[in-house]
A and B are shown apart, each in its own frame.
Chain A
Amino acid sequence: MSSYEQLRQGLSAPICLTWEVTYACNLACVHCLSSSGRRAPDELTTAEARSLIDEWAAMQVFYINVGGGEPLTRPDFFQLMEYAIERRVGVKFSTNGTLLDRAAARWVASTDYVDVQVSLDGVSAKVNDPIRGRGSFQRAWRAMELLAAEGVPFKVNHVVTRHSLADLDRLYERVTGMGGQLRVTRLRPSGRGRLVWAALRLTQAQNRELYHWLRAHPDVLTGDSFFHLSALGTPLDGLNLCGAGRIVCCVDPRGDVYACPFVLAPEFRAGNVREQSFASIWSRSPLFLRLRRTEVGGSCSGCEAYGRCHGGCMAVKHFTGAPLDGPDPECVFAPDGRPGPEQLPISPRPIRPVFVR
């Protein structure tokens, strides 16, 4: 059986999972996948979070991608991360950088198994701040300087958009020049991203340009974001398939388990860790079992590139109203049409989290 088949049919535990530790955030980025802002009052408590980490350790989840919201707004952030590391669950956390001080930079520098990435969506405040908020560029840059001063091999996560693609070379030079590593990820129409998808997403010509740029920069990480572009030729580095519910999943601040961090929608909620163990959700939830049986067919089935792109991103299809068993809306063979509708047909999570259930 090919390794693609092995992965498609799911693993005994996630390779990694995304843990959104809080919806609280001091920024309000226009493309936020989780529509973050206010803290959910029923966030997992420290004790609940610890038992979740215990479960992940027992299942040998190799590492967790910790995000939010802004993880550093959780008062028990460092305590929980140390708890995970002590149990050999590695930590990669994403931050907007605004709350990262010298002490936090020193903590990252002195702790094994912790990686940090700072979000930056432009090489200048002019491009970044309209997306991430006024002053956010300067504060993220300050965080990068603090990390660089401690000798931390930090990453910079960049959601590439129509207005930032032209600056990729400059961003790459500035980040690597500071000792950081660039990570470029895909804009998705999830959360608030739905509202800006049409205006900010790459054109088809830009997608082709990005593919060639990534091929020429193998040291740039992508988190497997652009596997739909692998249809253009030699596959990009990574597993090149949708890992939702198969090799990854997402746990939200209230313990809801979703197939992936880009589909925080009721249709893709597999269960809640307050009602069931994480392990049983992972191995037995009807949603995850169904995803592990799913093959993208439709017009993809006869395509010569299917073995490289596997039909693209489920989340992008879902939130643009495209059939899940058809091609990614940004399939490289799709015509370079108009930018698409301003309003997408399917409603994601409410922009403001609803706390009462």
Chain B
Amino acid sequence: MRPSDRIRLDPGIALRPERFGALAYSYRDRQLLFIDRSLLPFVGSDGERPVGEIANELVGRGLLEAESVPRLMAVLEGLRRKGVVHVVV
């Protein structure tokens, strides 16, 4: 996933806040996913801002380690491949 990508949750997926982050349930394939708290600002961004910008802001506010960003982008890419999020075009 590129820092300039904007992402949006698939409309067939419901996201429910939980202590650890969120549970995502796909009405398409009836799969349940655990979403870690660190992913929520991205998964819930509704395509409004590029993921790189969101990451930079979180790093700037001390909420995210700069070293964790590449791993986080890889996880988001995994969610894109699973069809959980889509890159807004």
B17 at the A interface (CB under 8 A) = yes
**A6 pairs with B20, CB closer than 8 A:** yes
B18 close to chain A: CB less than 8 A:
yes
Closest to A239 in B: B32
**Chain A residues packing against B (C-beta within 8 Å):** 1, 3, 6, 9, 11-13, 15, 60, 62-63, 88, 90, 112-113, 115
User: Measured between C-beta atoms, what is the minimum distance from A53 to chain B in Å?
Assistant: 15
For B19, the chain A residues whose CB sits under 8 A away are 6, 9, 12
Given contacts A62-B14, A88-B14, contact A112 B27 (CB under 8 A): yes
By a CB distance below 8 angstroms, the chain B residues around A6 are: 18-20, 34
B59 interfacial contact with A, CB 8 Å: no
Q: Chain A interface mostly helix, strand, loop or mixed?
A: loop
Please list the residues of chain B having a beta carbon within 8 angstroms of any beta carbon in chain A.
14, 16-20, 23, 25, 27, 30, 32, 34
Once the chains are docked, how many angstroms separate the CA of A90 from the CA of B17? Answer: 18
Contact (Cβ within 8 A) A60 B30? no
- Which of A62, A112, A115 has the most C-beta atoms of chain B within 10 angstroms of its own C-beta? A62
A15 contacts across to B, CB distance below 8 A: 23, 25, 32
Q: How far is the CB of B45 from chain A (nearest CB, A)?
A: 19
B59 → A minimal CB distance (Å): 24
**Can you name the residue of chain A whose Cβ is closest to the Cβ of B32?**
A15
- 6 CB contacts below 8 A, A to B, read A3-B20, A12-B19, A15-B25, A15-B32, A62-B16, A63-B30
Cα distance A60–B15 in the bound complex, in angstroms = 8
Nearest A residue to B26, CB-CB: A62
Contact A1–B20 (Cβ < 8 Å): yes
Given contact pairs A6-B19, A63-B25, a sample of 10 additional A-B residue pairs in the complex whose CB atoms are under 8 Å apart: A3-B34, A6-B20, A6-B34, A12-B16, A13-B16, A15-B25, A15-B32, A60-B16, A62-B16, A88-B27
Which residues of the partner chain A approach B23 to less than 8 Å between Cβ atoms?
11, 15, 62
Min CB distance A70 to B, Å, is: 24
Do B34 and A12 touch (CB < 8 A)? no
